[in-house]
Amino acid sequence: MMRDVRMKGFRSRTSVPNALAILEGRTGRLPVESVHVRECVGRVAAEPIAARIAVPHFARAAMDGYALQGESTFGANAYTPVELFVVGEVRAGRGTLPPIGKGEAVRITTGAPVPEGADAVLMAEYAEEVPLDESRSAPPHNAIAIVRAREAVAPGKHVGRVGEDVPAGMSIVSAGRKLRPQDAGVLASTGISSVPVVRRPSVRVLITGDELVEPGNIPTESTIVDSNSVMLRALALRDGASDVEIEYVRDAREAVYTAMRGATEDVILVSGGSSVGPEDHAPLVLEELGEVAVHGVALRPASPTGFGFLQKGMSTQTVFLLPGNPVSCLCAYEIFAGPTVRALGGRSRAWPHRTRRCTVAAKIVSELGRTDYTRVKVEGDRVTPIMTSGASILSSTTRADGVVIVDEGHEGYREGEEISVFLYDD
């Protein structure tokens, strides 16, 4: 049974690597669902997908002009054009024509099927069409005009071959790929309508604190405006959550118990109520309903962070106990909850931030055995820690350009060292 730390403090704290190892061992991607190809962008492919048909599945014109046998144009130039008889016309999506022979051509538009017997397309810019009565030889019975080719066209020129874009059966998408707009386009082009993807996790945010008022209000007396719900909702959606529900919960054990037991989402983010104060009920409620795997981590800020699991029927919910102080809440989400939300949806656990190598301009201080989430300012290729370090000063994260993670094996970084910075902006 877990120890009640309220008004007593933590005897020990779990290291960040050990806490992450527990999460990685206990959480994995959610089951597979199918979505229409129009809705697959941003989702993660659950399995490899192969082309159902070749693209194109017929030889098609790559230019507007005349389909013909390339050999028929050999020797043609602007001064001595080669004449061919026009025996028909084919346009994209409007059927096909009978085979053509040597010395014959058909008008054709881009994307239209090249008739059998033709192997090249003469561009309209190098062609001149004239009436039949200008012919110097007897036309075939089906001729409708004469075209004069002012350029020789090699066989295969301006003709899209069958499977030139995508051969039938070729792997289009690998499992685990986050699908992009162009992926959806290729999938659709090969006749695929239903795409198997990893189900996105649902998230519920429980905001605890009798002093909080909802965003959009002006605080009065001793109330303060809740900012964590806005931040956590945006972070969870960034990480692939399907939806994020917000619920405000009173600082009372019964209220926390009812809210946690009633939540049906894959992930529950509890904001506040996780530390050592007399109204911090969330850890004991989680222990009563399920399991607290970690409570208290060697992390600054966010040391009161915890997490555990609830078993409801055949599904397991992951519950994160996040500190109420906004910077601590952000830190705890980024390090623990964010990777889990991404992994549930089939994405990488790695941080989604762009990184940059910078030189330390002013010493970054930490302690051995503790991981530090240090807000920093980047100027050029030099990085400096933000002087304001309070866990409740959320504006420090807007003044910062990013964050440096000092792991538990370092006492910080001295001036002149080169380090990696996680940048807040894309």
Asked whether residue 350 is assigned to any structural domain, the reply reads: no
CA distance 202 to 34: 17
Is residue 224 located within the same domain as residue 338? yes
CA distance 242 to 43: 10
274-288: average pLDDT: 87
pLDDT tens per residue, range 376-420: 999 999 999 998 656 667 788 888 999 999 999 999 999 999 999
% of the chain exceeding 90 in pLDDT:
86
Average pLDDT, the chain: 93
**Helices 282-289 and 253-262, axial angle in degrees (round to 10):** 50
Rounded to 5°, angle at Cα 422 from 421 and 423:
105
Of 344, 366, 382, at which residue does a domain stop?
344
Please list the helix, strand and coil fractions of the chain in percent, rounded to the nearest 5, in that order.
20, 30, 50
Is residue 194 located within the same domain as residue 205? no
Is there a contact between 67 and 90 (Cβ–Cβ < 8 Å)?
Answer: yes
Asked whether residue 154 is assigned to any structural domain, the reply reads: yes
210-218: average pLDDT: 91
Nearest to 204 by CA among 118, 265, 133: 265
User: Is the pLDDT reported for residue 300 higher than 90?
Assistant: yes
User: Is the pLDDT reported for residue 8 higher than 70?
Assistant: no
Domain housing 136: 60-160
pLDDT of residue 9: 56
CATH of the domain at 185: 3.90.105.10
List all residues 6 or more positions away from 279 whose beta carbon is below 8 Å from its beta carbon: 210, 251, 252, 273
Q: Strand pairing partners for 382?
A: 359, 379
Paired tokens of 243 = 């939806």
Of 179, 198, 217, at which residue does a domain stop?
198
Is residue 372 located within the same domain as residue 413? yes
List all residues 6 or more positions away from 265 whose beta carbon is below 8 Å from its beta carbon: 201, 202, 203, 204, 245, 317
Q: Strand pairing partners for 45?
A: 197
Is there a contact between 241 and 270 (Cβ–Cβ < 8 Å)?
Answer: no
> Which pTM value belongs to this model?
0.86
Question: How many CB atoms neighbour CB 309 within 10 A?
Answer: 17
**Residue 306, φ and ψ in degrees, nearest 5:** -150, 170
Asked whether residue 11 is assigned to any structural domain, the reply reads: no
pLDDT of residue 365: 92
Q: Strand pairing partners for 101?
A: none
Residue 278: band (very low, low, confident or very high) from pLDDT cuts 50, 70, 90: confident
Is there a contact between 262 and 245 (Cβ–Cβ < 8 Å)?
Answer: no
CA distances from 296 to 14, 18, 53, 388 (A): 6, 12, 55, 23
Is residue 181 located within the same domain as residue 239? no
Task: Write out the H or E segment, with its range, that includes residue 357.
Answer: strand 355-360
Is residue 260 located within the same domain as residue 272? yes
Question: How many CB atoms neighbour CB 398 within 10 A?
Answer: 8
Of 102, 137, 160, at which residue does a domain stop?
160
CA distance 294 to 306: 5
Place of tokens 């969330």: 282
Residue 313: band (very low, low, confident or very high) from pLDDT cuts 50, 70, 90: confident
Is residue 176 located within the same domain as residue 51? yes
Asked whether residue 48 is assigned to any structural domain, the reply reads: yes
CATH of the domain at 417: 2.40.340.10
Paired tokens of 138 = 């007897």
Secondary structure (DSSP) of 368-401: TT-EEEEEEEEETTEEEE-S---TT-THHHHH-S
pLDDT of residue 270: 97
Q: Are strands 364-365 and 65-68 parallel, antiparallel or unpaired?
A: unpaired
Domain count of the fold of the chain:
4
134-155: average pLDDT: 88
List all residues 6 or more positions away from 336 whose beta carbon is below 8 Å from its beta carbon: 19, 20, 23, 305, 307, 320
Give the 3-state secondary structure of residue 19: helix
69-98: average pLDDT: 92
User: Is the pLDDT reported for residue 13 higher than 80?
Assistant: yes
Is residue 399 located within the same domain as residue 412? yes
User: Is the pLDDT reported for residue 7 higher than 70?
Assistant: no
Asked whether residue 135 is assigned to any structural domain, the reply reads: yes
pLDDT of residue 6: 53
> What is the maximal distance between C-alpha atoms in the chain?
107
Does 351 or 10 have the greater pLDDT score?
A: 351
Is residue 48 located within the same domain as residue 130? no
pLDDT tens per residue, range 60-82: 999 999 999 999 999 999 999 99
pLDDT tens per residue, range 225-270: 999 999 999 999 999 999 999 999 999 999 999 999 999 999 999 9
Is there a contact between 247 and 206 (Cβ–Cβ < 8 Å)?
Answer: yes
pLDDT of residue 47: 96
Asked whether residue 244 is assigned to any structural domain, the reply reads: yes
Is residue 174 located within the same domain as residue 226? no
User: Is the pLDDT reported for residue 139 higher than 90?
Assistant: no
List all residues 6 or more positions away from 59 whose beta carbon is below 8 Å from its beta carbon: 113, 114, 159, 160, 161, 162
Is residue 258 located within the same domain as residue 181? no
Asked whether residue 185 is assigned to any structural domain, the reply reads: yes
User: Is the pLDDT reported for residue 173 higher than 80?
Assistant: yes
Is there a contact between 76 and 67 (Cβ–Cβ < 8 Å)?
Answer: no
User: Is the pLDDT reported for residue 155 higher than 80?
Assistant: yes
Asked whether residue 2 is assigned to any structural domain, the reply reads: no
Is residue 154 located within the same domain as residue 186? no
Is residue 50 located within the same domain as residue 182? yes
